[in-house]
């Protein structure tokens, strides 16, 4: 078979002949019809025809209505679509997404297709290289809150976060262009705070400024931010689309890491019977489009994604994929220092521990919030239980955090 992209679906139906359904998908989303075509035309259209690769039917005994399903794999010839993610997604799931209870689980793209995608410009190792941190998980802090604050307020909040020893600070995804904190002035103010904090901590950090505005102006705004000193970008990738992320990440003048935010993802992945799987939506497609870091809901906190799906996202970001760089997984929401052992157990050291309230809500202040996380990370890497580490000299910040939030290690 020539170069193809293989889509895996899960289709639910209590009575359907799934083999017939798979064939109708393969034909309907490619040549449109087959059996009625003259033989000469069939020979001409063969190279465009989708092919059913497998149909695995799951029909539990005494199953309740709605539980019968099949996993269907279909190969789509690359010749049918241009080498861009919108064309691929419309081909394999555009019309089909509206055809009842069916979910797109995975896409295996061909070498030919992926050759149009350089993937993450920096990736996991590149981000580590920029920070000079290779032996531990990274720590990210989030501005809370941002709307209505002026530059002085924002700069002070940035400085306090930086003093806590975080590696990255990101804008909130709802911080858009506004007269109080315009993009270039915001970058200048925050990077000044970063330099001031570095004198005290000796630590580099990346500031992921939220890239917003009309699509036609995004590249211009990115360059403005970089010229003003920005060393990373935050991007609401699903709101703008994967192709926009791809354009930004592959632009040689936008030479900073891009962190993709998962805003709107909850409208797409959670249902078992509709939408697109989290591992594809927030894993493989984000990586193909060039995200260096990808945020997604953690399985621990306030916006919960089931752990099985969560770890599948991680695997999609880290596992070998046509030679593309790995993207940094950033499980987020509801993270506090008492979760660090569990995060490292589930994700290993190649993870960004991302916290908002777990830093700003610390009883000793924002700087102590960051320090508590760093102390928890060091203790976990050394094999020291947090309950023991909290009472070590100098770890008062960790002790206070545990008193506030406790420890969760299973």
Distance (Å, rounded) from C-alpha 271 to C-alpha 63?
19
84 burial via Cβ count (<10 Å: 0-12, 13-18, 19+): middle
Q: What is the 3-state secondary structure (H, E, C) of 206-236?
A: EEEEECCCCHHHHHHHHHHHHHCCCCEEEEE
Vertex 135 angle, CA 316 and 329, to 5°? 20
Q: What is the largest CA-CA distance in the chain?
A: 83
| Residue 294, both tokens | 């990808």
| The one catalytic residue among 95, 204, 307, 345 | 95
Residues 6+ apart with CB under 8 A from 99: none
Which pair of tokens denotes residue 236?
């609401």
* Tokens (6 digits) for 385: 């239980």
Closest by CA to 9, choosing from 17, 21, 1, is 21
The answer to whether residue 185 is catalytic is: no
Rounded CA-CA distance 117/153 in Å is 40
Give the number of other Cβ atoms within 10 Å of residue 141's Cβ: 29
Catalytic center residues: 95
């Amino acid at each position: 078979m020539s170069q193809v992209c293989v889509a895996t679906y899960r289709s639910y139906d209590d009575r359907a002949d799934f083999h017939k359904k798979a064939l109708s998908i393969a034909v309907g989303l490619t040549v449109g019809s087959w059996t009625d075509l003259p033989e000469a035309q069939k020979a001409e259209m063969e190279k465009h025809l989708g092919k059913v690769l497998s149909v695995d039917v799951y029909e539990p005994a005494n199953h309740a209505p709605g539980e019968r399903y099949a996993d269907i794999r279909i190969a789509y010839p690359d010749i049918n679509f241009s080498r861009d993610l919108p064309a691929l997604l419309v081909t394999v799931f555009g019309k089909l997404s509206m055809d009842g209870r069916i979910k797109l689980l995975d896409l295996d793209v061909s070498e030919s297709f992926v050759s149009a995608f350089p993937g993450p410009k920096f990736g996991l190792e590149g981000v580590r290289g920029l920070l000079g941190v290779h032996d531990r998980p990274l720590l990210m802090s989030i501005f809370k809150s941002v709307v209505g604050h002026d530059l002085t307020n924002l700069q002070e909040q940035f400085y306090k976060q930086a003093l806590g020893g975080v590696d990255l600070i990101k804008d909130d995804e709802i911080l858009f262009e506004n007269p109080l904190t315009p993009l270039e002035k915001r970058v200048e103010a925050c990077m000044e705070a970063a330099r001031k904090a570095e004198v005290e901590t000796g630590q580099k950090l990346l500031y992921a400024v939220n890239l917003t505005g009309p699509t036609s102006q995004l590249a211009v705004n990115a360059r403005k931010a970089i010229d003003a000193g920005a060393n990373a970008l935050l991007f609401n990738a699903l709101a703008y689309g994967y192709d926009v992320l791809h354009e930004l990440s592959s632009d040689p003048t936008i030479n900073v890491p891009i962190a993709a935010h998962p805003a709107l993802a909850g409208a797409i992945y959670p249902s078992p019977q509709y939408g697109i799987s989290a591992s594809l939506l927030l894993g493989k497609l984000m990586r193909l489009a060039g995200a260096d870091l990808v945020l997604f809901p953690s399985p621990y906190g306030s916006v919960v994604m089931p752990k099985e799906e969560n770890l599948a996202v991680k695997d999609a970001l880290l596992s070998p994929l046509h030679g593309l760089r790995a993207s940094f997984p950033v499980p987020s929401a509801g993270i506090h220092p008492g979760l660090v052992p569990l995060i490292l157990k589930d994700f290993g050291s190649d993870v960004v521990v991302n916290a908002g309230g777990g830093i700003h809500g610390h009883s000793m202040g924002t700087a102590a919030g960051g320090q508590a996380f760093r102390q928890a990370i060091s203790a976990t890497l050394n094999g020291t239980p947090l309950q023991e580490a909290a009472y070590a000299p100098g770890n008062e910040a960790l002790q206070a955090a545990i008193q506030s939030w406790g420890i969760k290690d299973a």
